[in-house]
A and B are shown apart, each in its own frame.
Chain A
Amino acid sequence: MLTISQTAEIIGVSIQTLRRWDDSGKLRSVRKKETGNRYYRRDDVEKFIKSNPKNLFGLAKKWTASKSEEDLPSAFYCQDISVFQARLSRLERDLGEIKRLNKIFPLISAITGEIGNNSFDHNLGNWPDIPGVFFAYDLSQGKIILADRGQGVLTTLKKVKPKLSNHQNALEVAFTEIISGRAPEYRGNGLKFVRNIIAANEISLFFQTGDAQLKIAKKNYNLKVEKSNVYIQGCLALIKF
C-alpha cells in the first residue's frame, strides 16, 4: 500500500487533489477506519495512470530529475533490454493499426528503439542508481516518452571525445557528428539517425540530458540546443507525431 504523499508524488498531483478525487470517486483510497489515513493500492494507482496518460511526460521528467530514487509504475518501467524490446514490439503493432501512420510507423518505432537502446548500451554495468528506462506512450495524443537515470550523454560521449566540457556541447555532438569506425567503443550514431528521420518526416523531438535540451521540429534538420532550468540525471525524450 502507498501513503497519500507517496501516491501524490507518483501521480504528480497535490495531496489536496487526491483527497478531492477520493471524495468524488475519481481515485478511491483505502482506509482502515472511516476517519483514518488514506492509503492507495499500487495496482489502483498504476491503473489510474495508465487510463489518464495526460501527464506521462511530467511523470518521466520528475523521475529522472529527482535527487532520490523514486519508484515508477511498473507499466512504464523496463528494467532491462528484454522488457523494453517486448514493449517496443507492442508499440510497433499498435502504431501499425493507425491509418494516418501507415507509411511512417516503422520509422517511429525505429527511432524509439534507438533512443531506448542507447540508454541500455551506454549504461550497462554503470547505472548510477536505478537501472532501466521509463517507456510510455499515448497514441491518441501522438506521444512517446522515454527516460533514464543513467550517466547522461556528456559522461558517455567523453569516452570518445575527452575534450567535451558541458552538456550542451555533448548534446550537439551526439546529434550531429558521425563517429566512424568501430573503435574505441561500439557506440552511438543512433541520435544522428533519429535526427535524419525527423528531418524528413512529420515527427518532432524534445531531448534533454543534464542541463541541456534540444528541440527538433518536424521536417526540420535544424537543432536548437538550450540550457534548461531543471537538471536531469540521465536522458529524457519526447517524440511527437
Chain B
Amino acid sequence: MIIYLKKFGTTLNGRQFGRESFAAFGPSLKDIGEEENIVVDFEGVITFTPSWGDEFLGPLFDRFGERLVLKNTKNPSVQASLEMLEEIYKKKFKKKVSGTLEKDT
C-alpha cells in the first residue's frame, strides 16, 4: 500500500492536524496484508514538521515497524524532521532510495 502524503496537503504541520490525518486514513489500514509493506510517499510535500510526523508516522512505525518504508524524502524539512523523529524513537526509518530498498544508517 502506498500513502501519498500530498493528499493531506503540502504544509504538514501540527499535532492536531497530524492526528486528524491519521484518524482519517486509519480505516484504510485494515485492508493491508500480513506481509505487505506500507510505503509513505513524500513527493509534493513542501513543509513537513516533527509534530505532524510524530502523530502520523509514529503510530504507523509502532504497528508496522520494518514494513514501513519512506519514499521521496529529499525535501530538507522532511529530512530534518525524520532525523529528529529517529532520535526520539531511537530507531531508524527504512527509506526507499532510487528504486532500491535501503535501510538508512
Given known contacts A88-B13, A106-B75, A107-B76, is B47 in contact with A193 (CB within 8 Å)?
Answer: no
CB pair B11 A189 closer than 8 Å: no
Measured CB to CB, the nearest residue on chain A to B75 is A106
Given known contacts A113-B47, A121-B51, A193-B49, is B11 in contact with A92 (CB within 8 Å)?
Answer: yes
CB pair B88 A106 closer than 8 Å: no
Residue interface mask B70-81, A partner, CB < 8 A = 1: 000001111011
CB pair A85 B11 closer than 8 Å: yes
Measured CB to CB, the nearest residue on chain B to A121 is B15
CB pair B77 A120 closer than 8 Å: no
CB pair B76 A103 closer than 8 Å: yes
Taking the complex as formed, is A9 at the interface, i.e. its CB lies under 8 A from any CB of chain B? no
A113: which B residues are within 8 A, CB to CB?
Answer: 11, 13-14, 47, 49, 51
CB pair B58 A197 closer than 8 Å: no
CB distance from A203 to the nearest CB of B (A): 12
CB pair A117 B15 closer than 8 Å: yes
Give chain A's interface residue range (CB within 8 Å of chain B).
20 to 34
CB distance from A138 to the nearest CB of B (A): 20
A190: which B residues are within 8 A, CB to CB?
Answer: 49-51
Max chain A C-beta neighbours (<10 A), residue from B10, B14, B47, B75 = B47
CB pair B47 A117 closer than 8 Å: no
Taking the complex as formed, is A109 at the interface, i.e. its CB lies under 8 A from any CB of chain B? yes
CB pair A81 B16 closer than 8 Å: yes
A103: which B residues are within 8 A, CB to CB?
Answer: 76
B50: which A residues are within 8 A, CB to CB?
Answer: 114, 189-190, 193
CB pair B14 A85 closer than 8 Å: yes
A181 to B15, CA, bound (A): 15
In the assembled complex, 17 residue pairs joining A and B whose CB atoms fall closer than 8 Å, in A order, are A81-B14, A81-B17, A85-B13, A92-B46, A96-B46, A109-B11, A110-B80, A117-B13, A120-B16, A121-B14, A121-B15, A121-B16, A121-B51, A180-B89, A190-B50, A196-B83, A197-B80
7 more contacts with CB within 8 A, not counting A89-B10, A113-B13, A114-B50, are A81-B16, A92-B11, A110-B49, A113-B11, A114-B51, A189-B84, A190-B51
Taking the complex as formed, is B56 at the interface, i.e. its CB lies under 8 A from any CB of chain A? no
CB pair A110 B84 closer than 8 Å: no
CB pair A110 B47 closer than 8 Å: yes
Taking the complex as formed, is A2 at the interface, i.e. its CB lies under 8 A from any CB of chain B? no
CB pair A117 B14 closer than 8 Å: yes
CB pair A92 B10 closer than 8 Å: yes
CB pair A106 B14 closer than 8 Å: no
A120 to B76, CA, bound (A): 25
A113 to B90, CA, bound (A): 24
A106: which B residues are within 8 A, CB to CB?
Answer: 46-48, 75-78
CB pair A182 B84 closer than 8 Å: no
A89 to B14, CA, bound (A): 12
Q: Which of B60-105 contact A (CB under 8 A)?
A: 75-78, 80-81, 83-84, 87-90
Residue interface mask A181-206, B partner, CB < 8 A = 1: 11000100110110011000000000
Max chain A C-beta neighbours (<10 A), residue from B51, B76, B89 = B51
